[in-house]
Chains A and B, each alone.
Chain A
Amino acid sequence: AQKITQTQPGMFVQEKEAVTLDCTYDTSDPSYGLFWYKQPSSGEMIFLIYQGSYDQQNATEGRYSLNFQKARKSANLVISASQLGDSAMYFCAMKRGGGNKLTFGTGTQLKVEL
């Protein structure tokens, strides 16, 4: 069985600062994918970034980067230069390699302050 753990229920960050949202995972599958989604108050889940278990490089997408540490089974999301619009719920998720089912964590509520 796959499990995602997000231990930070809430985080605060100052505008323009960087913030790291933690995610650890547990799986026995050698092939898997890790995702981060953003869920603003409007409710829609917005895909941010993806990391495959065999990817050698850490994924980056604009201001988002994924700090993938396979031996520690962690996949932390780093948001650089935080903006007020980054305030939202952030979910880490995992899927088996070749599969489609996403298993989500419980989320971290991020608040960006002036």
Chain B
Amino acid sequence: EAGVVQSPRYKIIEKKQPVAFWCNPISGHNTLYWYRQNLGQGPELLIRYENEEAVDDSQLPKDRFSAERLKGVDSTLKIQPAELGDSAVYLCASSQGQGIIEQYFGPGTRLTVT
């Protein structure tokens, strides 16, 4: 079974530029999460989807961040415009159903904003 796929793995952009990250969850997983992991910290949830509905986006900086999950499968996280403080690893995870224990994580996208 294929795991969570993310692309790109690395991205370097200049500040004020837009950037997008893509995630393909494990087949059949209806819950998808985007986390941001700053250097030396644990991941922090940005947004959670149940199928195509964003059910928890309280931590998403909505002035510059947006996300979508079309057809309840793949998801895209966008930042426009990027700021220096957005440099971090962006992790995507998926799980199957409500209350299920395990979240499966992808390898992440390491973003560097210069």
Contacts and interface: CB of A to CB of B under 8 A. Distances in A.
B30 to A, nearest CB: 11
Given A45-B93, A98-B98, A106 B41 contact: yes
A68 interface: no
Q: Which size bracket describes the interface of A in this complex? A: 20 to 34
B40 A106 contact: yes
Q: Chain A's interface: helix, strand, loop or mixed, by majority?
A: loop
Given A50-B102, A98-B98, A43 B42 contact: no
Contacts of B101: 33, 35, 50
4 shortest A-B CB distances, which residue pairs? Answer: A104-B42, A45-B105, A43-B108, A44-B107
Interface of B: 3, 31, 33, 40-45, 48, 56, 89, 91, 93, 95, 98-99, 101-108, 110
24 contacts: A37-B105, A42-B107, A43-B107, A44-B105, A44-B107, A44-B108, A45-B43, A45-B93, A45-B103, A45-B105, A46-B105, A50-B102, A99-B99, A100-B33, A100-B56, A100-B95, A100-B98, A101-B45, A101-B48, A104-B42, A106-B40, A106-B41, A106-B42, A107-B41
